[in-house]
């Protein structure tokens, strides 16, 4: 009996010791005081040159004015994490975005040269933040990047209604790989219009100016996106699988309350 008990205990210990370990400590990438851990990049100015305070901290919130195109970028690269941000739209738009949908984006797995794409952003995989389309995937890459930047997902088959732009994510759909373009998240209205405050008939986003939460879970070669607690997009065979994190300034005012990262 004693021998059998010892074998059982050893077996259990071996199983427990070899379980995958998931760290659960959340680390705030934004401290509510300043932009420590980040650098700024603006299309017409370059790195850490922001005289108009496109990126600032006000009353514990990160404010991105949108007045100039660019981003804030983490100093460090990250992989295997859950990233959760809480954000809301402001009231102002600029230049070509005046009167149009408020637009920003969370760019993960960012790699290469600052400003390589459009003079403003690193090449990356984008989880879009835009009126009526928060949670869309966009592959932010250039011609010739096909082997370095791509994702695979399942999309709505031709037998289903098709969107005017991009492809619809469908968990039961046809497997497709893209090297550029957009994968629409669940609930993105096919009648989407590029107008401020757009919300679809089956909208998941909260009303314009209210707080929303996006969570991107990047583990291995998979990215899963949750919007306000609902799974809205998922991709696998993602390239690359690590990189810096960028948050865009793209002609619209946004506020961010939390940017929390949990290592997996």
Domain residue limits at 125: 27-263
What pTM value is reported for the model?
A: 0.90
Q: What is the pLDDT of residue 25?
A: 82
Total domains, the chain: 1
Separation between Cα atoms, residue 247 and residue 62, nearest integer Å: 11
Separation between Cα atoms, residue 38 and residue 112, nearest integer Å: 16
Task: Tell me, yes or no, whether 200 lies in a domain.
Answer: yes
Comparing CA positions, the residue from 161, 191, 182 lying closest to residue 173 is: 161
User: Whole-number mean pLDDT of the chain?
Assistant: 92
CB-based contacts of 55: which residues, under 8 Å, 6+ apart?
Answer: 35, 40, 62, 63, 64, 65, 72, 249
Which phi and psi angles does 178 have, rounded to 5°?
-125, 150
Where on the phi/psi map is residue 89: left (φ > 0), alpha (ψ -120 to 50), or beta?
Answer: beta
**Cis previous bond, 89, omega within 30:** no
Q: What is the pLDDT of residue 9?
A: 38
pLDDT > 90? residue 8 = no
The dihedral over CA atoms of 170, 176, 178, 184, expressed in degrees to the nearest 10, equals: -10
pLDDT > 70? residue 114 = yes
In this structure, what CATH number is given to the domain that contains residue 215?
A: 2.60.120.560
Q: What is the pLDDT of residues 222-248, one digit of tens each?
A: 999 999 999 999 999 999 999 999 999
Q: What is the pLDDT of residues 124-138, one digit of tens each?
A: 999 999 999 999 999
Task: Tell me, yes or no, whether 236 lies in a domain.
Answer: yes
For residue 100, the 8-state DSSP code is: S
Q: What is the pLDDT of residues 20-64, one digit of tens each?
A: 334 468 999 999 999 999 999 999 999 999 999 999 999 999 999
Task: Tell me, yes or no, whether 255 lies in a domain.
Answer: yes
Task: Tell me, yes or no, whether 148 lies in a domain.
Answer: yes
Separation between Cα atoms, residue 150 and residue 138, nearest integer Å: 9
How sure is the predictor about 5, in pLDDT bands with cuts at 50, 70 and 90? Answer: very low
Task: Tell me, yes or no, whether 13 lies in a domain.
Answer: no
Which phi and psi angles does 158 have, rounded to 5°?
-60, -20
CB 242 within 8 A of CB 79: yes
Q: What is the pLDDT of residue 72?
A: 98
12 versus 114: the higher-pLDDT residue is 114
Task: Tell me, yes or no, whether 231 lies in a domain.
Answer: yes
Task: Tell me, yes or no, whether 14 lies in a domain.
Answer: no
pLDDT > 80? residue 11 = no
Separation between Cα atoms, residue 210 and residue 204, nearest integer Å: 12
Comparing CA positions, the residue from 147, 185, 148 lying closest to residue 166 is: 185
How would DSSP label each residue in 147-182?
TTSEEEEEE--TTS---SSSEEB-TTSEEEEESSEE
Task: Tell me, yes or no, whether 197 lies in a domain.
Answer: yes
The answer to which of 14-28, 99-113, 150-164, 246-260 has the lowest mean pLDDT is: 14-28
Q: What is the pLDDT of residue 2?
A: 42
């Amino acid at each position: 009996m004693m021998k059998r008990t010892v074998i059982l205990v050893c077996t259990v210990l071996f199983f427990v010791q070899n379980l995958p370990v998931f760290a659960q400590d959340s680390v705030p990438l934004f401290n509510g005081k300043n932009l420590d851990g980040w650098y700024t990049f603006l299309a017409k100015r370059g790195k850490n040159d922001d005289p108009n305070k496109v990126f600032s901290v006000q009353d514990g919130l990160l404010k991105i004015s949108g007045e100039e195109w660019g981003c804030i970028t983490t100093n460090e690269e990250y992989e295997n994490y859950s990233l959760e941000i809480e954000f809301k739209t402001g009231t102002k738009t600029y230049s070509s975005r005046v009167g149009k949908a408020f637009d920003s984006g969370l760019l993960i797995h960012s790699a290469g040269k600052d400003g390589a794409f459009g003079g403003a952003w690193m090449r990356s995989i984008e989880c879009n933040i835009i009126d009526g389309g928060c949670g869309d995937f966009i592959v932010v890459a250039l011609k010739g990047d096909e082997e370095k930047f791509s994702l695979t997902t399942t999309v709505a088959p031709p037998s289903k209604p098709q969107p005017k732009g991009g492809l619809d994510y469908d968990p039961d759909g046809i497997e497709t790989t893209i090297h550029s373009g957009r994968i629409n998240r669940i609930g993105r209205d096919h009648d989407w219009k590029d107008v401020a405050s757009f919300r679809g008939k089956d909208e998941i986003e909260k009303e314009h100016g209210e707080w929303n939460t996006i969570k991107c879970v990047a583990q291995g070669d998979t990215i899963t996106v949750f919007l306000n607690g609902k799974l809205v997009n998922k991709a696998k065979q993602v390239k690359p699988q690590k990189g810096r994190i960028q948050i865009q300034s793209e002609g619209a005012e946004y506020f961010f309350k939390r940017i929390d990262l949990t290592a997996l």
